[in-house]
Amino acid sequence: MSHAQRTTRRAFVGRIGQATGAGALASAFATVAAERLHAAVTRVAARPAADVASDEEFWLPVQQAWDTDRALLNLNNGGCSPSPRIALEAVFRRWRFANDVMYHHLMTVLDPRRESVRTQLADLFGADRETIALVRNASEALETVTLGIKLEPGDEVLLTTHDYPRMITCWRQREKRDGIVLKQVAMPCPLRDPADLVALFAAAITPRTRVLHCSHVHFTTGQIGPVKALCDLARSRGILSIVDGAHAFAHLDVRADQIGADFYGTSLHKWLSAPVGNGMLHVRKELIPSIWPLFAATDPASGDIRKFEECGTNPVPVMLAIGEAVQFHQLIGGARKQERLRFLRDSWARPLQAEPNVTIVPLLDPVHSCGIATLRIEGVDPSKLAEHLLKKHQIVVASIGIEDVKAIRVTPHLYTTLSEIGRFVDAVREVARSGLPG
């Protein structure tokens, strides 16, 4: 183990013990759990990530890093993921500190520490820290850009029929207010060749096209978009690229230069497992002055990325817990996490795909998907299937009913166990073979 790894280990174990704040006994248990997790990471350090994905001995201490109610099986982590103990308890600890002398502790002591969080996110994303804005979610990140880009009447914006409804609504508002033209590419479902989507975007570009908006991982099905090719296409035509990374960041093991987006917005309460109320906006540095901030700033044409954070008093303890979430993510390793999420997806999708009346979208290869997929049973309303799974089996999934996707979306996370996956498979197989109960 290198000196840097030993330093990270000591820091992580120390913060685990500090974060509990629930007495010496709780702190001792948490420290032991952290030591076990570090020992597991050390044991697999030299092994390929794909090989570690199925090592249940390794993933057990990872699963135990969350305090979750195992009586309810949450397979909707794509909506919001619970935070691991280290991040959750860090929020409580900082709130208690802030509450002693609220304004002074909150704004004078804690608020400046946001800069260390900015650095951690930038390092994780492989970006310049001066291109990272801390916001509350992907919607705020993306709407900052959508409403801040200077566009003229008749200017065209391209996106797909599978982009997030709030983003489409935001562009529609600009269409009504400013006279721009919104054009939606009908994305094939399932997408069998990523080049097909690139070709559809290329065919839709006209001399008036100014913005190409696309999803890194589509919320509808979990389809991975060919974002690098799309961003390259946009740049070659002098078009700005906006990437919705809400379901990709800390899910896929990728960095900014592998995407090439002018603007990238994401939520941190999904796959990074930071507390709810955290998001990130990445803006290509030379473009920062050209984007109007969503909330008024002293100098709206400033090149300082912090102008996008001017929304008044923030819940700083929630924001600072991003740091613990990043630390936990890096301890596990982005590549290991990605492969484990794909393994968990395969553990339910492949056996259910064998059922004659079950359809799984997207395609289950690494080019097309990772930890997210959707399931449809022929003749079964997905909303009723979701209701049945919750009422009879205490299983939570998301029902998707947008465009040509009528299915349930299934999103396990690292704390999900194989026995829980088996519980879901059995429940769905019963419906696939016998239908919903009368």
Split the chain (438 residues) into runs of 10 and give each run's mean pLDDT: 49 52 51 84 96 97 94 96 96 96 94 97 98 98 98 98 96 97 96 97 98 98 98 98 98 97 98 97 98 95 97 93 97 98 98 96 98 98 98 98 92 98 98 94
Residue with tokens 């979430």: 325
Strands 132-135 and 209-215: unpaired
Q: How many angstroms separate the CA atoms of 386 and 75, rounded?
A: 11
- 130 contacts 305 by C-beta, under 8 angstroms: yes
Work out the angle between the directed axes of helices 322-332 and 114-125 (0-180°, nearest 10). Answer: 30
Q: Are strands 373-377 and 358-361 parallel, antiparallel or unpaired?
A: antiparallel
| Residue found by looking up tokens 């993306």 in the block | 142
**β-strand partners of 408:** 375, 399
Cis peptide before 362 (omega within 30 of 0): yes
Q: At 215, give phi and psi (nearest 5°).
A: -105, 140
d(Cα 216, Cα 223) in Å, to the nearest integer? 8
- pLDDT of res. 3: 47
pLDDT of residue 40: 94
Backbone angles phi, psi at 26, to 5 degrees: -60, -40
| Fold annotation for 108-326 | Aspartate Aminotransferase; domain 2 (3.40.640)
262's tokens:
């002018």
Beta-carbon-side half-sphere exposure of residue 124 (alpha carbons within 13 Å): 30
Whole-prediction pTM: 0.92
Q: What is the phi-psi region of residue 65: left when phi exceeds 0, alpha when psi lies from -120 to 50, beta otherwise?
A: alpha
Sign of CA dihedral 152, 264, 324, 84: positive
CB atoms within 10 A of CB 296: 10
Q: What's the pLDDT at 403?
A: 74
DSSP H or E stretch at residue 159: strand 156-160
Q: Report the distance separating Cα 284 and Cα 158, nearest Å.
A: 20
Report DSSP state, residue 162: T
Helices 85-100 and 3-20 cross at an angle (nearest 10°) of 60
d(CA 99, CA 102): 5
Angle CA(311)–CA(315)–CA(318) in degrees, nearest 5?
125
CB 35 within 8 A of CB 13: yes
CA distance 213 to 193: 19
The domain 336-434: what is its CATH number?
Answer: 3.90.1150.10
Contact 112, 432 (CB under 8 A): no
Residues 22 and 7: their CA atoms lie apart, in Å, by 25
Q: Which pLDDT belongs to residue 221?
A: 97
Please give the pLDDT value at position 33. Answer: 76
Separation of alpha carbons 388 and 427, rounded Å: 9
